[in-house]
Chains A and B, each alone.
Chain A
Amino acid sequence: MQSPNVTIIAEDFGHLISEHRDAEGALLPILHAIQDVCGYIPDAAHPLICDALNITQAELHGVISFYHDFRKKPAGRHVLKVCRAEACQSVGGDAVAATLLDRLGLDWHGTTHNGAVTVEPVYCLGLCACGPAAMVDGRVVGRVDAAKLDALLAEAGV
């Protein structure tokens, strides 16, 4: 799901861009559409976006780099987001995150050697009454503990 689609070509970007270019404030919808297909925002798409929206490369770079969501390179096959916010901290979220990073030998935003999982911090998933919370590729998990982490990682192929 998150893996890069190497076969994507300029015409495909053109199609994704033209689908949204007439929307008011088209840039975020375009970037999301491209990332949904490619898993990241390839450099090859930049000139096409700039041309369609009449913005400079600098403006585009400014937007892509501002938001946590947009990637400049592909993530692992699965993205595991772990909540670091206060409600999850109050029920031991810090320890869960530390165990996870330690087990994988990664820091935040790191990807396992086999490319299976990228681990990212997230600041609130709205699961504050059933924390610690996590999300794997859009699937939410509550009351995460060591056992649940093991199951999630095994499922992801770590």
Chain B
Amino acid sequence: MKIFVPMDSAAKALGAEEVVAALRVAAPDAEIVRTGSRGMIWLEPLVEVEIDGVRHGFGPAEPADAGGIVDGTSARALGPVEDLDWMKRQSRLTFARVGVIDPLSLDDYQAHGGLAGLRRALGMSGQDIVDEVKASGLRGRGGAGFPTGIKWQTVHDAEAPQKYIVCNADEGDSGTFADRMIMEGDPFTLIEGMAIAGIGVGATRGYVYLRSEYPDAIAVMSRAVELARKAGMLGADVLGSGRAFDMEIRKGAGAYVCGEETSLLNSLEGKRGVVRAKPPLPALEGFLGRPTVVNNVISLATVPVIFEKGARAYADFGLGRSRGTVTLQIAGNVARGGLFETGFGISLGEVVNDLGGGTASGRPVKAVQVGGPLGAYMPVSRFDTPIGYEEFDQNGGLIGHAGLVVFDDTTDMLGMARFAMEFCAVESCGKCTPCRIGAVRGVETIDRIAEGDAGALTLLTDLCETMKDGSLCALGGFTPFPVMSAVTQFPDDFARQKEAAE
């Protein structure tokens, strides 16, 4: 008997370890394989039992369900996992193996298409590799949406004794967990993507800057790097090609701003994680002043499938200038939260109401914050906005890392606006004045609005303009998005306070 149980931290947080212990008692002879998560977090821990070669799901499982799962009588039975609506409706490219394979088995990895992309890339010139990424239309999945191939081209063309690939795994945005899930569920795909990037641009060394808040991901990634090195996937002679690429995992230290690429580079160099002014671009003067590709986890983890299936096949998915798939993370007060990978173009409303099933509390949806703490609060009236970089921009938002946090009608939007400013104040690196001082003044100004000072709203609007135009990076520059979207889309929450004071 073969049983699969996720070791993804969301599954662990919901009791997967206790379920595994109970399964070992109920079926001492069964082989229990630990996997990543399929992304149906509301069903975690999701136990899968292989019956006649088909994996049947049981979830959300509790230790008491172990007996019933083993003998097939459990009321938690969901049927074949691949036939579930959530799975059938996806186009899983980046996440194809997550939840399916043992994350630390290179054999499993290769049996499911792993290393095909790297093998193909090793037969190509650096320029051909860069051209393939350009043709795929892949854009930075960390939030900025900059074309990945263009960035690679700059580093490829730069001349230097040493170049670097740096993976930004400082996934600090609330509502996002795709990076964590892929690092815990399919770490070799990130390693393969970084190796292809290295071979492509002529970089022999790479680093993953991984936030310390993800101890499980750090453990899995570190082990995967060791295994990859042992298997010759990393090192002086990548898969016997004679080309070199090696990498290591570096742990962050709890600073949100280090998700900003220049601040990340300073941190990686052992300095305060203070933002650097651009130019120079990190692609020309990055880590230790050398040309450096800085890409998000999902961007790099998507590279292998582009090389395996071809740039055209990837670019066939999507909408307008947003090509390929988006790894939506549906979170917050939502009935069915989790990760859903699909082509760009699906509407916000379809994601929240159809996939997510509305709120978990059963109350009406009030707002959805898209793109993390620096993303706008979208009201229900904007639910027809298609998920795409330009489409969101036109509607006053940004898709960022494609995390969506759902809020019900009990939410006080003034409180959320205040939190955005407070968070910016706590996490500001302190380099530029609009962010360092503006965020503190922002909290005070919102408190004045709460006390009924109507004039403070004009001041807040003015402050947000200053922060937007005058900040060095997205922390100070984008904090006005959640604040001003709350003000403009939910004016009652700001006016009601005034009436209360009167």
Please report A residues at the B interface, Cβ cutoff 8 Å: 24-29, 31-32, 53, 62-63, 66-70, 81, 85-91, 122-131, 133, 135, 138-143
10 smallest A-B Cβ distances: which pairs? A129-B337, A27-B270, A142-B13, A85-B174, A128-B331, A68-B254, A67-B253, A90-B332, A129-B41, A69-B254
* A residues in contact with B176, CB < 8 Å: 124, 126, 128
> Once the chains are docked, how many angstroms separate the CA of A92 from the CA of B139?
35
Mark the stretch among B79-87, B124-132, B406-414, B458-466 that contacts chain A: B406-414
A3 to chain B, nearest CB (A): 19
Given known A-B contacts A128-B331, A129-B41, A87 and B253 have beta carbons under 8 A apart: no
Give, as a whole number of angstroms, the nearest-CB distance from A45 to chain B: 15
Instruction: Flag whether B175 is at the interface (Cβ < 8 A).
Output: yes
Residues of B within 8 A of A27 (CB): 270-271
> Would you give the shortest CB distance from A55 to chain B, in whole angstroms?
8
**Assuming the A-B contacts A24-B288, A140-B9, are A126 and B171 also in contact, with contact meaning beta carbons closer than 8 angstroms in the complex?**
yes
Task: Report if B273 contacts A (CB, 8 A).
Answer: yes
Q: Is the contact region of chain A dominated by helix, strand, or loop, or is it mixed?
A: loop
Q: Nearest residue in A to B42 (C-beta to C-beta)?
A: A129
Q: Does B12 contact A (CB under 8 A)?
A: yes
Q: Which residues of A contact B172 (CB under 8 A)?
A: 123-124
24 contacts across the A-B interface (CB closer than 8 A): A29-B251, A31-B253, A63-B271, A66-B255, A67-B255, A69-B212, A69-B254, A70-B253, A86-B175, A87-B175, A91-B332, A123-B427, A124-B173, A126-B10, A126-B176, A126-B214, A128-B332, A128-B405, A129-B42, A129-B330, A129-B334, A129-B338, A140-B10, A141-B13
Q: Contact residues of B with A, CB < 8 Å?
A: 9-10, 12-14, 41-42, 44, 171-177, 179-180, 205, 212-216, 250-256, 267-274, 287-288, 329-334, 337-338, 360-361, 369, 373, 403, 405-408, 411, 416, 419, 423, 426-427, 429
Task: Report the Cα distance A28→B266, complex, angstroms.
Answer: 11
Identify whether the interface residues of B are mostly helix, strand, loop, or mixed: mixed
A26 touches B270 (CB 8 A): yes
Q: Is the CB of A124 within 8 A of B268?
A: no
Q: Which residues of B contact A130 (CB under 8 A)?
A: 10, 13-14, 41-42, 44, 337
Complex contacts, A133 vs chain B, CB 8 Å: 13
* A141–B9 alpha-carbon span in the complex (Å): 9
**CB-CB < 8 A to B419: which residues of A?**
86, 89
- What B residues does A81 contact at CB under 8 A? 213
Closest Cβ of chain B to A75, distance in Å, is 13
- Contact check, A123 vs B423: say whether CB atoms are below 8 A apart: yes
Measured CA separation A16–B286 after assembly (Å): 28
Contact for B270 among A53, A70, A85, CB less than 8 A? A53
Chain A proximity of B419: nearest CB distance (Å):
7
Q: Assess whether A25 is in contact with B269, with CB atoms less than 8 Å apart.
A: yes
CA distance A128 to B373 in the complex (A): 13
